[in-house]
Amino acid sequence: MALTGELDLDAALRRIVLTCRSDLHRYRAVVLASRQPEGIHQTRVALRRLRAAIGLFRDVVDDPKLRGIASEAGWLADECGPARDLHVFLTDVIPEAPRRISRVGTRLAAARLTRARRALGGNRFAQFDRNVERFILSPSSSGGEPLKDFAARALDAHHAKVRRRGRNLSRLEAADLHRLRIAVKKLRYAATFLLPVFEPTATTTYVDATESLQNALGIMNDRTVGAKVLADISKASRPSDRARRPCKRLGKHLKDSGRHDRRNLKQAWRAFKKAGPFWRGAS
């Protein structure tokens, strides 16, 4: 069911969580039944969207189950992370990796997929899912602040945080860029959740610009994570793989390939600043 500005905040969060749970079930089934990389990636996205939704409403919806749900969603996302990171490394960061590295990576990918499947198919997931269902079905409070008023205030706060984090963009170091990426991700999820509240006056221009900025930051982060994945591949290699020397060469390549990423990030930042926040002035 779509969100409307007249909903109370409890009911709004339950509708968002219901959507996140549906997405999680859909892509979890893919992970458990196949090796399609989209399954592990979208499962992780669904878990992170669930956590973002809970964080967005954390100060206005008081339910003791939410903290535990968010914590377990974080654990599940972490269990799926290594499989996703390895796939991104082999297909996006180094799409034409030497055969010696690809061979070790493929072997390591099987172990990481097994780890993700164990988490998604185990008793801990089942208990987590029951808790999510209980929250969705439990009675919500009525009255209080309408969603539309809360939405504008929350989006303003997230937007301001991104602008602060992105100040002096060209001089930001890796840790600062990581914090900016997290802030942008939370803003994008919040904007996506709340966009329907402002229609028909709202447009997707702002959401698209935020997504592009997140993608630009994500590419840079994937290179940083790629260096760690490369170290894992080197460690997992056997003497017969003869992969350690190619790993060293690729490590140097990763360090030297950030200039193009920086240019793309600057373009995405300019587009983001140009896009007008859709919630301001909406009736």
Structure tokens at 196: 């329907």
Percentage of the chain modeled with pLDDT above 90: 59
What's the pLDDT score for residue 7? Answer: 87
Name the most confidently modeled range: 61-65, 121-125, 218-222.
121-125
**Mean pLDDT confidence for 52-64:** 92
Confidence of residue 281 (pLDDT cuts 50, 70, 90): low
d(CA 38, CA 44): 10
Does the domain spanning 145-278 belong to CATH 1.40.20.10?
A: yes
Q: Return the closest-CA partner of residue 281 out of 211, 206, 213.
A: 206
Separation between Cα atoms, residue 107 and residue 261, nearest integer Å: 30
250 close to 94: Cβ distance less than 8 angstroms = yes
Per residue, what are the HEC states of 88-147?
HHHHHHCCCCCHHHHHHHHHHHHHHHHHHHHHHCCHHHHHHHHHHHHHHHCCCCCCCCEH
Domain coordinates in residue numbering, the chain: 9-136, 145-278
**Matching residue, tokens 């055969």:** 99
Q: pLDDT tens digit string along 84-94?
A: 999 988 888 88
The string of pLDDT tens digits covering residues 186-217 is 999 999 999 988 866 667 899 999 999 999 99
Q: Is 170 exposed, middle or buried (0-12, 13-18, 19+ CB in 10 A)?
A: exposed
CA dist., res. 104 & res. 238, Å (int): 8
User: Which residues neighbour 238 within 8 Å (Cβ) at sequence distance 6 or greater?
Assistant: 104
